[in-house]
Chains A and B, each alone.
Chain A
Amino acid sequence: MLDFWFLPPIPDAVREFLGFSPPVTLINIALVVYTFSALALTLARMMAGSNSYRGWAHLGYLGAFYGFYYYAGELKSNFWPVFAAGLTILCLENYRVWTYCTDAIREEREKLG
């Protein structure tokens, strides 16, 4: 289904320099912990009414997870967990920003009207 033929193989020199990849089990556990804490922090920011957007940072973290799986040679079987985690976190983050903006626009309209 997903072959990632377009991704080049990692050269031996790079592997020699970086060493062994972490076990896939550990990457999976890290992904679950990251998803849990990212969702909890987004909900906390939603309650606090914060206006900061953390979507770009999350894209970086998710990219790092893809990088780890790719280096461990397990990207094919772990593409969808990272995708689902990213979709959930970014949906919640964007929903938070959307509700914040909607409230701000309504407040502004009330002041103007």
Chain B
Amino acid sequence: MLNNFATRATVPVTITITGFVIVCCFVLYSFIKGDLLRDTVQHEISLADTIVKSTRHAMLKSDRETLTNMINNIGDQESVEHVRIFNKKGVIMFSANPAELGNEMDKQAAGCNSCHGGPEPSTGLGSMEQARQFTNERGVSVLAITAPVYNEPGCWTAPCHVHPSDQKILGTLDIGLSQKTFDQTMQRLWWRMIIFCVMILILSVGGVSALLRKFVLSPVRQLTVFVDQVSRGNFDYPLPRGDREIESVARIFLDIAVHGDKMKGRPGEGQEEEGES
């Protein structure tokens, strides 16, 4: 079964097209996922910057009540898994989860070690370095952003609480958003790509099979039947139609068969010719 003409022509085409499309789909999925993740990170960074700028006035006034209210309201949103502000020492000063207030974070923990990994803490990070992905204690996949709260002239000249002007970073905002929507989008994309692959497979195998049947298999079968009929002496059997090459082969075979039959009908003449040659 595997050794017939149709299988031999279809199998390599099927393997090549399907395999290549699957590899391209995997790579395309990886590209799209990376691009979407970068967009999501940029969106979260601008969200974190918006929060930092919104809380700036309350920080300058050292208005803890307003700050707590703002953080709690942000944390109440469905997609926000956590939002907290650390001071310079890594102590959580404001958080939507009151249980973690006053906790000190380990500087080697994920999200902290990107800045505190070296002997001197880094003050500027790339957008992707500010992001981290993890699964929280409730089993939710989270994309978190760590945004520094930079020291500005207004901070060290404010009358309420003075920071030295050479201190670059006053604290850090840490916000984590659920990746549920992102994961659902990626899953939808995955299923669409699988459907696309299956359609490519059906079209390629179906297309190649149909073309082979129409232009190769069917004419070859007609030629086989024609040769069989002519070899049985049925010289009036109609020539196979539709393909010029096949028709030409059939016509040549018919001429040879008719000529051979004539020779057979005159054995002496045939023998003479053989003897002469």
Q: Once the chains bind, are A35 and B26 in contact (CB under 8 Å)?
A: no
- Which DSSP category, helix, strand, loop or mixed, fits chain A's interface? helix
Task: Encode contact with A along B75-91: 1 for CB under 8 Å, 0 otherwise.
Answer: 00000000000000000
The listed residue (A31, A89, A99) touching B19 by CB distance below 8 A is A89
What is the bound-complex CA distance between A35 and B34, given in angstroms?
22
Among residues of B, the one whose C-beta sits closest to the C-beta of A85 is B23
Q: Once the chains bind, are B27 and A92 in contact (CB under 8 Å)?
A: no
**B16 CB within 8 Å of chain A:** yes
CB of B114, distance to nearest CB on chain A (Å)? 15
Task: Encode contact with B along A8-36: 1 for CB under 8 Å, 0 otherwise.
Answer: 00000000000000001100110110011
Size category, B interface = 10 to 19
**B199 CB within 8 Å of chain A:** no
Size category, A interface = 20 to 34
Task: Encode contact with B along A66-94: 1 for CB under 8 Å, 0 otherwise.
Answer: 00000000000110110011011101100
CB of B242, distance to nearest CB on chain A (Å)? 26
Q: With A39-B20, A84-B26 given, is the CB distance from A92 to B15 under 8 Å?
A: yes
Among residues of B, the one whose C-beta sits closest to the C-beta of A103 is B3
Among residues of B, the one whose C-beta sits closest to the C-beta of A74 is B30
Q: Once the chains bind, are A39 and B30 in contact (CB under 8 Å)?
A: no
* Residues of chain B within 8 A of A35, CB atoms compared: 19-20, 23
Q: Once the chains bind, are B30 and A28 in contact (CB under 8 Å)?
A: yes
* Residues of chain B within 8 A of A31, CB atoms compared: 23, 27
- Which DSSP category, helix, strand, loop or mixed, fits chain B's interface? helix
Q: Once the chains bind, are B26 and A88 in contact (CB under 8 Å)?
A: no
**B24 CB within 8 Å of chain A:** yes
Task: Encode contact with A along B1-32: 1 for CB under 8 Å, 0 otherwise.
Answer: 00100001001100110111011101100110
Q: Once the chains bind, are B19 and A84 in contact (CB under 8 Å)?
A: yes
Q: With A25-B34, A95-B11 given, is the CB distance from A39 to B16 under 8 Å?
A: yes
Q: Once the chains bind, are B24 and A32 in contact (CB under 8 Å)?
A: yes
* Residues of chain A within 8 A of B31, CB atoms compared: 25, 28
What is the bound-complex CA distance between A35 and B16, given in angstroms?
10
CB of A78, distance to nearest CB on chain B (Å)? 7
**A59 CB within 8 Å of chain B:** no
* Residues of chain B within 8 A of A84, CB atoms compared: 19, 22-23, 26
Q: With A32-B23, A81-B30 given, is the CB distance from A99 to B15 under 8 Å?
A: no
Q: With A25-B31, A32-B24, A78-B30 given, is the CB distance from A85 to B19 under 8 Å?
A: yes
* Residues of chain A within 8 A of B27, CB atoms compared: 28-29, 31-32, 81
Q: Once the chains bind, are B19 and A81 in contact (CB under 8 Å)?
A: no
Q: Once the chains bind, are A77 and B30 in contact (CB under 8 Å)?
A: yes
The listed residue (B3, B12, B23, B34) touching A81 by CB distance below 8 A is B23
Q: List 16 A-B contacts (CB under 8 A).
A: A25-B34, A32-B27, A35-B19, A39-B20, A78-B26, A78-B30, A81-B27, A84-B22, A85-B23, A88-B18, A88-B19, A88-B23, A89-B19, A92-B12, A92-B19, A95-B15
11 more CB-based (< 8 A) A-B contacts, given A88-B15, A92-B16: A24-B30, A24-B34, A28-B27, A29-B27, A32-B24, A36-B20, A39-B19, A78-B26, A81-B27, A88-B23, A92-B12
| Residues of chain B having any CB pair with chain A under 8 Å | 3, 8, 11-12, 15-16, 18-20, 22-24, 26-27, 30-31, 34
